[in-house]
Amino acid sequence: MKKELTISLTIVSLMLGVLLALGVRTQQTYTPILPTSNPRQLAIIIKDLQDTNKKLQEEIKALRNRITVYEDMLASGKGAIQTLNEQLQSLKVQMGLTGVMGPGVIVTVNDSNVRVPSPELQNFYIVHDYDLLQLVNELKSAGAEAIAINGQRLSFYSSIRCVGNVIQVNQVPIASPYKIEAIGDPDVLYSGLNLPGGILDYFKRVGFQVSVKKAEQIVLPPYTGMTGLRFAQPTGGS
Amino acid sequence: MLFIIPLLGFLLSFLLVYFAHIAVPLHFATYLSVAILAALDSLMGGIRAGLERKFDNLIFLTGFFVNSIAAALLAWIGDFLGVPLYLAAVIAFGVRIFQNLSLIRRLVLQEYPARRDKSERTR
């Protein structure tokens, strides 16, 4: 009987050891990610960060405005500087660092309103980052000159990606319905999107609620994300 | 000897898994904690039964597995209902662990009459 007791206790002790070690490792793996696991505190932290983010973006806007003012001041100076400044301004427009306006199309995409047959398939019925990417790609290949998604202007540095369950454009989270505004030849953009077997066909097939409108006048905000090169060096020549 | 082998087994498995750097997905963390409590509870119960000389191998092992599975099931159902039902298992096991611990303490103290005699003599 004593032998049995020892064997059984050993079995359970072995298991306890395994479980405890697993538990300790699991805690160590997941705790450093977040400062707290209390959802309410996390919500407050997120809110704080969002506020800071908003403030910083306003600061960026103010600083850009100041730069423009300085550039204007420079431009009112001499001829060579003035031409340089003109070049600078036109480059800024091309880089998406200024607001622009012009004719184009407005596409709105919303998640599917088709009844989802089973919860596992739910993923197919919501708009994903790659859906928006494809749409943007289509607009670019149809000659769009400036594009913004839910007011987030796209530039060379822009990214569209999924973080958790929200899509981030320029690292800023956006939510459905997605409004993609593109400046370019409205007719070309419109027909580019409506190609048979094209992107809108696909969207409609999965049941996304899509609408495309041509617009006489679209006003797009400047790109407010990060700019500046840290690693790339010009090689000289052009 | 009775408790040294289990203790060694515990240390061995703990160190082995600890240094293997295995972590379970976060989703299963509650199940893990409940399983740890179930194992601890069974261990305490087994030690107590051993000291009381009422140990029954079958009861001990089935108790361990059935308790663990029932607790995991409870946690799983709780996940479904959005109610932290695993707390029920945590509380039940916690209470039993402390009860068994106090019984073990008493039994161990009774096993050393020499100490008692000494304390009576000094009194």
Cβ contacts below 8 Å, chain A against chain B, sum to 110
Distance from CA of A21 to the nearest CA of B (A): 5
Cβ within 8 Å of residue A179, ≥6 positions away: A106, A107, A108, A149, A150, A151
Model confidence at A1, in pLDDT bands (50, 70, 90)? Answer: low
Segments of chain B with pLDDT less than 70: 1-2, 113-123
> Are A201 and A73 within 8 A, CB to CB?
no
Q: In sequence order, what DSSP letters do the residues of A184-220 get, joined into one string? A: S-HHHHHHHHT-TTSHHHHHHHTT-EEEEEEEEEEEE
Question: Using a CB-CB distance cutoff of 8 angstroms, which residues of chain B are in contact with residue A10?
Answer: 5-6, 9
Q: What is the pLDDT of residues A156-195, one digit of tens each?
A: 888 899 888 889 898 888 888 899 999 999 999 999 888 8
- What ipTM goes with this model? 0.78
pLDDT at B123: 46
> Are A1 and B55 within 8 A, CB to CB?
yes
Are B6 and A24 inside 8 Å of each other by CB?
no
Q: Cα A67 to the chain's mean position, in Å?
A: 26
Cβ within 8 Å of residue A139, ≥6 positions away: A105, A107, A147, A180, A182, A184, A189, A192, A193
> Are A153 and A64 within 8 A, CB to CB?
no
Cα separation, B39 vs B30, in Å, equals 14
Place of tokens 């008493």: B106
A18 close contact with B: CB closer than 8 A: yes
- pTM of the complete model: 0.47
On the question of pLDDT at A137 being above 60, the answer is yes
pLDDT at A147: 93
**Looking at chain B, which residue has its C-alpha nearest residue A3?**
B2
CA-wise closest residue to A223 among A169, A153, A161: A153
Find the range with the poorest average confidence among A36-40, A53-57, B19-23, B76-80: A36-40
A120 close contact with B: CB closer than 8 A: no
pLDDT at A220: 92
pLDDT at B118: 55
- Interface mutation vs chain B, best among A20, A30, A38, most B CBs within 10 Å: A20
On the question of pLDDT at A238 being above 60, the answer is no
Phi–psi pair at A55, nearest 5 degrees: -60, -45
pLDDT at A157: 84
On the question of pLDDT at A10 being above 50, the answer is yes
pLDDT averaged over every residue in chain A: 85
Percent of chain A topping pLDDT 70:
94
Q: What is the pLDDT of residues A67-120, one digit of tens each?
A: 888 887 777 766 667 777 778 888 888 888 888 999 999 999 988 877 777 777
Phi–psi pair at B5, nearest 5 degrees: -65, -50
Distance from CA of A129 to the nearest CA of B (A): 25
- Interface mutation vs chain A, best among B60, B66, B67, B93, most A CBs within 10 Å: B60
